[in-house]
């Protein structure tokens, strides 16, 4: 009896310690706007990726998927490939993440490159498809539910500036395809705002007038005087024409 008791005294604490070591931190929070983009290393269809360091002083877009060969995600990759030149002109590096293994990524990429989608002809997918089968990156970027390991909601998009700071985030459900044109518009707006120290109004497009940033005060409702390039539509909305 004493031997059994001593055995339990030794084994039970070790078992509890092992269980504690195995218990995973489930606080998979989404990194917020203004925070540094979480760094990771992973294999991809373009080789080993060290993100974001490998992409230097470029703007970056991390575009995540729950699974390869899904119809919505497949259409999104084809649209990204179709607009690759537009992203290149903006100096944007695309990185696509999927919660499937690298071997499946390679098959998916080959299948997509063999399609004649929307009669555009076959297209090469130049951006890397990152292997996140173990969900390491998905957890870093808050795309896994804290209660389970379902990949259903690995549908995030993160726009990251040259200082590797997250500037925009959005998620879509797996039933609704994401807009590549909106992604390009958002990156262009962010770059314009950062370069010119301005803001962009709703539905802004490149070439449109921008907003002058200021905090309206209730006790000072006088609009600034109009100039050649600056005009107000109200005391709380002043626009500026960009001359470049």
Catalytic residues, by residue number, are: 73
- What is the length of the chain? 244
β partners of residue 222? none
94 touches 54 (CB < 8 A):
no
187 touches 60 (CB < 8 A):
no
Q: How far apart are CA 100 and CA 107, in angstroms?
A: 11
Distance of CA 42 to the CA centre of its chain: 16
- Give the chain's radius of gyration (CA, Å): 24
80 touches 111 (CB < 8 A):
no
132 touches 97 (CB < 8 A):
yes
């Amino acid at each position: 009896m004493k031997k059994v008791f001593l055995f339990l005294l030794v084994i039970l604490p070790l078992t509890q310690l092992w269980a504690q070591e195995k218990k995973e931190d489930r606080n998979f929070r989404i990194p917020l706007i203004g925070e540094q983009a979480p760094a990771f290393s992973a294999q991809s269809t373009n080789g080993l990726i060290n993100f974001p360091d490998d992409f230097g002083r470029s703007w970056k877009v991390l575009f995540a998927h729950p699974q390869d060969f899904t119809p919505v995600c497949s259409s999104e990759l084809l649209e990204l490939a179709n607009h690759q030149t537009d992203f290149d002109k903006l100096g944007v590096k695309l990185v696509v993440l999927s919660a499937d293994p690298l071997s499946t990524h390679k098959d998916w990429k080959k299948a997509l490159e063999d399609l004649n989608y929307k009669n555009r002809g076959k297209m090469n997918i130049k951006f890397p498809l990152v292997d996140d089968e173990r969900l390491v990156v998905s957890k870093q970027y808050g795309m896994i539910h804290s209660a389970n390991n379902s990949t259903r909601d690995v549908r995030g998009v993160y726009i990251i500036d040259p200082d590797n700071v997250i500037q925009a985030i959005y998620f879509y459900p797996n039933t609704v395809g994401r807009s590549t044109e909106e992604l390009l518009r958002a990156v262009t707006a962010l770059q314009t705002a950062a370069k010119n120290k301005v803001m962009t109004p709703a539905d802004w497009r490149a070439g449109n007038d921008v907003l002058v940033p200021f905090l309206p005060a209730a006790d000072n409702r006088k609009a600034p005087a109009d100039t050649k390039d600056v005009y107000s539509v109200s005391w709380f909305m002043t626009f500026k024409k960009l001359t470049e």
